[in-house]
Amino acid sequence: MAGRPRAFPDDPHPRTRSKGSPLTTAPDSADLTTADGQDRAPNRTVAGEAGRRRTFAVISHPDAGKSTLTEALALHAKVISEAGAVHGKAGRKSTVSDWMEMEKARGISVSSTALQFNYRSTEAGESADDAVNVVNLVDTPGHSDFSEDTYRVLTAVDAAVMLIDAAKGLEPQTLKLFQVCRHRGIPVITVINKWDRPGRTPLELLDEIGERIGLTPTPLYWPVGIAGDFRGLLRRGEDGQAREYVRFTRTAGGAKIAPEEILDPDTALEREGDEWATAAEESELLSATGQDHDQELFLAGQTSPVIFASAMLNFGVRQILDTLVALAPPPQGRTANDDTVREVTDPFSAVVFKVQAGMDTAHRDRLAFMRIVSGVFERGMVVTHAQTGKPFATKYALTVFGRERSTVENAYPGDVVGLVNANALAPGHTLYVDKKVQFPPIPSFAPEHFSILRAESAGKYKQFRRAVDQLDSEGVVQILRNDIRGDASPVMAAVGPMQFEVVAARMKAEFNVEARMEPLPYTLARRTDAASVDELNRQRGVEVFTRSDGVLLALVSDKWRLQYIQKELPSLTLEPLVAAGDE
Digit-coded pLDDT (tens) for 402-421: 556 788 899 999 999 999 87
Residue 101 or residue 123, greater confidence: 123
**Is pLDDT of 451 > 60?**
yes
Write the DSSP string, 276-290: HHHHHHHHHHHHHTT
Q: What is the 3 state secondary structure string of 28-48?
A: CCCCCECCCCCECCCCCCHHH
Digit-coded pLDDT (tens) for 58-79: 988 888 888 889 889 888 887 7
Q: Which of 52, 45, 26, 42 is nearest to 118 (CA)?
A: 52
Question: How does the average pLDDT of the chain come out, rounded?
Answer: 82
Binding residues for GTP: 139-143
Digit-coded pLDDT (tens) for 189-227: 999 999 999 999 999 999 999 999 999 999 999 999 999
**Is pLDDT of 113 > 50?**
yes
Digit-coded pLDDT (tens) for 236-290: 998 888 999 999 999 988 888 999 999 999 999 999 999 999 999 999 999 999 9
Q: H-helix or E-strand containing 532?
A: helix 530-537
Binding residues: 139-143
- As to burial, measured by CB atoms within 10 angstroms (0-12 exposed, 13-18 middle, 19+ buried), residue 128 is exposed
Task: Return the percentage of the chain with pLDDT > 90, whole number.
Answer: 52
Digit-coded pLDDT (tens) for 489-504: 999 998 778 778 878 8
Domains of the chain from N-terminus onward: 46-327 (3.40.50.300), 334-432 (2.40.30.10), 449-576 (3.30.70.3280)
Q: Going by C-beta distance under 8 Å and a sequence separation of 6 or more, which residues neighbour residue 542?
A: 536, 554, 555, 556, 557, 561, 565
